[in-house]
């Protein structure tokens, strides 16, 4: 077999490994962002529930 074929395969494997590393890093970044957004969503939901509770109390107190 031609040695050039093996060199091309090795280069392609190296490219794919590099691309895989970049994709893994992007995945880690997206997971961090997702976690931060989930925390923010929980805080906003809690605040909305608190406000709705106050509104419900106001409706009960109104004549």
Residue with tokens 């093996």: 6
**Count of domains in the chain?**
1
Residue with tokens 């406000």: 51
What's the rounded Cα separation, in Å, for the pair 10 and 29? 29
Strands (E), the chain: none
Q: Which domain holds residue 55?
A: 1-63
pLDDT the model gives residue 13 = 98
- State which residues of the chain have pLDDT below 50: none
* pTM, two decimal places: 0.68
pLDDT the model gives residue 62 = 67
What's the rounded Cα separation, in Å, for the pair 63 and 37? 41
pLDDT the model gives residue 60 = 83
């Amino acid at each position: 077999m031609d040695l050039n074929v093996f060199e091309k395969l090795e280069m392609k494997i190296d490219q794919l490994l590099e691309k895989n590393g970049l994709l893994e890093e992007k995945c880690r970044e997206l997971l961090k962002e997702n976690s931060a957004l989930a925390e923010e969503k929980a805080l906003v939901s809690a605040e909305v529930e608190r406000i709705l509770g106050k509104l419900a109390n106001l409706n009960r107190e109104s004549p």
